[in-house]
Amino acid sequence: MAAITSDAAPATGRPHGDGAPVLHCEGLKKRFGSRQAVDGVGFDIGPGETYGLLGPNGAGKTTTISMICGILARDAGEVFVDGERLDVGTTRAKRLVGIVPQDLAIYPDLTALENLDYFGRFYGMGGAALKGRIREVLDVVQLTDRQRDRTAGYSGGMKRRLNIAIGLLHNPRLLVLDEPTVGVDPQSRNAILSSVETLGQEGIGILYTTHYMEEAERLCDRVGIVDQGRIIAEGTRPELVQLVGQTDKVSLGATGSLQAAAEAMRALEGVQEVTSREGGLDVIVPDASTALPALLAAAAATGTSVRSVEVVEPDLEAVFLHLTGKALRD
Ligand SMILES: Nc1ncnc2c1ncn2[C@@H]1O[C@H](COP(=O)(O)OP(=O)(O)OP(=O)(O)O)[C@@H](O)[C@H]1O
Ligand SMILES: [Mg+2]
């Protein structure tokens, strides 16, 4: 496993890793017939940390979190939430977890308020405490103004947001979200992403699965890249990007003697590759910020005028491609 570990603070600066982990899991395995869906997955999530499982369709994300939440019996492995062992049969530890499943679980004939009241009572809540908590979770998912509408008339994204509110109702220590933005409208997607950001800042642990690289990059303090039932790499975004080998692509929009400029740039120390294209040059360097002055000087010296500069750093998509040889998206 190409996993990397580090004591460095998370890229976002959010607190994590203080005290006992909110989630500790190790050695998780699940086989369906001849298919090893999950093959030895383990990781920790600290308080206030958002951890992403990023992987393509069929990688084993849902199977992994189903075992973590105690919905699915595991063939091997252990799960602890806030230090308490969680198995299919345990109720105590399960109450520390809020689940937002990939498939919706709400009652279409009821309003949002009625749905939340129903699920709250199911969790043994009631009275003013439940009322107050319902108000809070509706606010988190930005559905307060639609709380008295039947959910049958909600958009897919609004239903998904209500599902998140239900998952939060009983004040879980760990919130598990399974690809919550798949198939939702852009407005709801934004509402969901900002809810997750707010929750992370409030200190609960979040386990977020997605096959959208941008979401993992935006939300997650650390990411586990999953492929074929294994975590093939883990770390903060900068740590993961380093696996690709530290390279930036500098795209220069330029006119003039591009060939001469390309040649001059190739001679510069640290420049790995220069390709000329219609209207400019693409230069691969270890670090764009240190290379840029010399690149611009080389352009000027060869009579090339640079009109635009764009720096593209490698992203998690590039990391996945580097590690597996295939694209994250289908
Ligand atoms: N109940 C089941 N019976 C048989 N095979 C299953 C079952 N659940 C999952 N699988 C298989 O296990 C593998 C992992 O599936 P899983 O649903 O965990 O992937 P995923 O990463 O969540 O994918 P997606 O992004 O499509 O949701 C897949 O090959 C899937 O077909
Ligand atoms: Mg899934």
Residue 322 inside a domain? The answer is no
Using a 6 Å cutoff on CB, does residue 59 contact ligand 1? yes
Q: Could you identify the residue written with the tokens 């075992």?
A: 67
Q: What pLDDT band is residue 327 in, cutting at 50, 70 and 90?
A: confident
Nearest CA to ligand 1 atom 14: 60
Nearest-angstrom CA–CA distance, 142 and 162: 9
Using a 6 Å cutoff on CB, does residue 32 contact ligand 1? yes
Residue 58 inside a domain? The answer is yes
**pLDDT at residue 19 in the model:** 64
Say if residue 67 is in the same domain as residue 210.
yes
Nearest CA to ligand 1 atom 28: 58
Say if residue 152 is in the same domain as residue 29.
yes
Nearest-angstrom CA–CA distance, 59 and 225: 10
**pLDDT at residue 11 in the model:** 37
**pLDDT at residue 104 in the model:** 81
Nearest-angstrom CA–CA distance, 220 and 234: 12
Say if residue 176 is in the same domain as residue 275.
no
Say if residue 171 is in the same domain as residue 261.
no
Q: What is the mean pLDDT of residues 288-295?
A: 94
Say if residue 131 is in the same domain as residue 189.
yes
Q: What is the mean pLDDT of the chain?
A: 89
What number of CA atoms fall less than 13 Å from residue 319's CA on the CB side?
Answer: 30
Q: What is the mean pLDDT of residues 243-271?
A: 91
Q: What is the mean pLDDT of residues 257-284?
A: 93
Comparing C-alpha atoms, which of 225, 260, 229 is closest to residue 244?
A: 225
Residue 229 inside a domain? The answer is yes
Lowest mean pLDDT among 87-91, 149-153, 250-254, 280-284: 87-91
| Res 15 pLDDT > 90 | no
Residue 326 inside a domain? The answer is no
| Cα pseudo-dihedral 87, 90, 95, 96, rounded to 10 | -40
Q: What is the mean pLDDT of residues 16-41?
A: 89
Q: Of 228, 243, 258, which one is at a domain's C-terminal end? A: 243
Q: Which two tokens stand for residue 167?
A: 């998952």
DSSP states along 303-314: TPEEEEEEEE--
Q: What pLDDT band is residue 280 in, cutting at 50, 70 and 90?
A: very high
Q: How far is the CA of 122 from the centre of ligand 2 (A)?
A: 26
**CATH code (residue 213):** 3.40.50.300
Say if residue 225 is in the same domain as residue 119.
yes
Nearest CA to ligand 1 atom 31: 58
Q: What pLDDT band is residue 285 in, cutting at 50, 70 and 90?
A: very high
Say if residue 54 is in the same domain as residue 99.
yes
Q: What pLDDT band is residue 246 in, cutting at 50, 70 and 90?
A: low
Q: Of 200, 219, 243, which one is at a domain's C-terminal end? A: 243
Q: Of 215, 243, 271, which one is at a domain's C-terminal end? A: 243
**pLDDT at residue 247 in the model:** 81
Say if residue 276 is in the same domain as residue 208.
no
Say if residue 118 is in the same domain as residue 216.
yes
Percent above pLDDT 90 for the chain: 69
Say if residue 173 is in the same domain as residue 304.
no
Beta bridge partners of 175: 98, 206
Say if residue 236 is in the same domain as residue 146.
yes
Q: Minimum-distance ligand to the CA of 66?
A: 1
Residue 174 inside a domain? The answer is yes
**pLDDT at residue 232 in the model:** 95
Q: What is the mean pLDDT of residues 293-318?
A: 92
**pLDDT at residue 16 in the model:** 40
Q: Minimum-distance ligand to the CA of 61?
A: 1
Task: Please give the C-alpha separations between residue 135 and each of 123, 142, 156, 177, in angstroms, as whole numbers.
Answer: 17, 10, 21, 21
Q: What is the mean pLDDT of residues 244-260?
A: 89
Using a 6 Å cutoff on CB, does residue 55 contact ligand 1? yes
**pLDDT at residue 330 in the model:** 57
Q: How far is the CA of 59 from the centre of ligand 2 (A)?
A: 8
Using a 6 Å cutoff on CB, does residue 224 contact ligand 1? no
Go through the chain and tell me how many residues it has. Answer: 330
**CATH code (residue 270):** 3.30.70.100
Say if residue 63 is in the same domain as residue 199.
yes
Residue 97 inside a domain? The answer is yes
Residue 272 inside a domain? The answer is yes
Ligand 1, from 61, 67, 75: best to mutate by most atoms within 8 Å of Cβ? 61
**Number of domains comprising the chain:** 2
Provide the residue range defining the domain that includes 291. Answer: 248-313
Q: Of 103 and 260, which is predicted with more confidence? A: 260
Residue 108 inside a domain? The answer is yes
